Structures are given as structure tokens and as C-alpha cells.
Amino acid sequence: MFNICELYDYVYKEFKIKLSAYKENQMHRRIEFFISKTNARTIKEFIASCEKDPILKNQFLDLITINVTEFFRNKDLFFQLTDIIQNDLPKKDVYSIWNSACSNGSEPYSVAMLFEEMNLNYKILATDIDNKILDYAKRGCYTEDEIIDIPIPYLSKYFDNYNSKYTIKNFIANKIIFKRHDLILDDFPSTFDLILCRNVVIYFKKEEKMKIYNKFYNSLKPKGIIFIGATENIYDYQQIGFTKLGTFFYQKVVK
């Protein structure tokens, strides 16, 4: 058994990630399993191994951040999002969108394709804590496995295909800014018509979640909408000032 808390300072120093904000049981179990597959017998030894071996260190960062994502994740919810944008969002010349915890870009590019299909103008701020995954997202270049969930007609419209790689076209890439942002430690930008925050707060402790959803409320324009993950719920949404538009969609009520 390792005392995972001994790793907190190292993780903060190396990756600027505050591990104490994440649910302990889950995170500790994952880290313990990861360390047990190395030769390290103590946390000190594990840190020394990471320092000697950049690949191990990168794998460790991947384990902490959990970058799993896909294009149009929970497709039916993206269809719902289309309806909600058309029926519930106040009309705008340019919709301002924040896609937090955007991982490798599949999610913000999916949202961009959705807006293109609706013929609406938009700009997206796409953020994540992990610089490595943000570099991947900025390249916008995906393998055949990664694009499997994209509707076929969208592939030729929105991607250049070369050597079995699919690269997002410039007219979409130019509407998205990728930037590092930590939901725990950083100030929240404002003011957005639509915010996506999916499949990340499930890893945070309850008190952190509460703070984050309150900050999202402040980051939205009146009647702005937040779209959350398909296993998530904002329990105290009314107290924060949201009304529910659908199981995973909440709208800012003007107080």
C-alpha cells in the first residue's frame, strides 16, 4: 500500500494539478494500481522513476487527467442540443461558447459542426487542464478510429482526408481558441451563451462541484445554457439559479 497523499506536492509542482480536489477513493485506487505495475516500492521511488523516464511521467499524467472522449459523445444529446439552441437560446449574431474540459478536441469540433449545420455563427473557447491533449486538439488531426462517430456527410464537408488521417478544415479551426484552464484553480471566463462541461466534475469532490456549477452560472449570459455529461446531475440547480430544460441541460434564470 502506498500513501498517495505523498504524491500531491509532486503532482502540483509538475502538472499544476490539485489532486486533493478529486474524489479520493477513485483517484487513489487508480494511482495505486498504476504504481503497482512499475518497479517502485515507495512513493519516493515512483517519483524518481518519473523523473528518469518522461514516458512514464506522461502516462501518469494521462492516468490522472482521464482524457477519454469521442466525437458526438451520446449522439442523441447532441440532437437535443440542436433543438434547445433553436428553441430556447435567445437569438444572437454570434453565439459565444465555452467548452471546458475539451480533451482532444472531439467535443468542441462536434459542437462547431452542429452550429455549421444550423447555419449559425459562433466562436468557441475550448479549455482543458492538460497541455499535451490541448496540443493534440489544436492539430485537429484524427485517425480513422477516432472519426468513427462522425456522420459520413460531415467528413467531406468539415475534414481534409489525407493518408487515412482526417484534419479539421481551417474555416472551423479558425473559430476555436484552445487554452489551458483548470476548473479547480483558475478564475472562470465570461460571458457565454452556451457552456459544455461533460464527464469531468464526476471526478471532483462534492464541495468542488458546487463551487464549479455556481461559477458556471456566473459565466453564462441571462438565459444561457449549460450542457453536462450523461451520467451527471446538478442536484441543487434551483438554488444556484438554473431551470431544467432536459435531463442534461440547464438554463440560467435571471434572478
Ligand X SMILES: C[S@@+](CC[C@H](N)C(=O)[O-])C[C@H]1O[C@@H](n2cnc3c(N)ncnc32)[C@H](O)[C@@H]1O
Chain residues in the site for ligand X (CB under 6 A): 65-69, 73, 101, 103, 107, 128-130, 133, 182-184, 198-200, 229
Distance of CA 169 to the CA centre of its chain: 21
Q: Which residues of 164-203 are buried (b: 16+ CB within 10 A; e: fewer)?
A: eebebeeebbebbebeebbbbeeebeeebbbbbbbbbbeb
From the CB of 157, what's the least distance to ligand X, in Å? Answer: 22
Beta bridge partners of 204: 22
**20 or 45, CB closer to ligand X?**
20
Single-letter code of the amino acid located at 75: K
DSSP code, position 6: G
**45 or 232, CB closer to ligand X?**
232
Backbone angles phi, psi at 178, to 5 degrees: -100, 140
The residue among 172, 177, 178, 146 whose CA lies nearest residue 159 is 172
Backbone angles phi, psi at 167, to 5 degrees: -110, 130
User: What is the DSSP track for 58-119?
Assistant: HHHHHHHH-----TTSSHHHHHHHHHHHHHHSPP-SSEEEEEES-TTTHHHHHHHHHHHHTT
From the CB of 82, what's the least distance to ligand X, in Å? Answer: 18
**65 or 96, CB closer to ligand X?**
65
From the CB of 104, what's the least distance to ligand X, in Å? Answer: 7
From the CB of 17, what's the least distance to ligand X, in Å? Answer: 7
**181 or 252, CB closer to ligand X?**
181
**40 or 105, CB closer to ligand X?**
105
Query: Could you tell me which residues come within 8 angstroms of residue 66 by beta carbon, excluding any fewer than 6 positions away?
Result: 203
From the CB of 66, what's the least distance to ligand X, in Å? Answer: 5
From the CB of 247, what's the least distance to ligand X, in Å? Answer: 15
**22 or 159, CB closer to ligand X?**
22
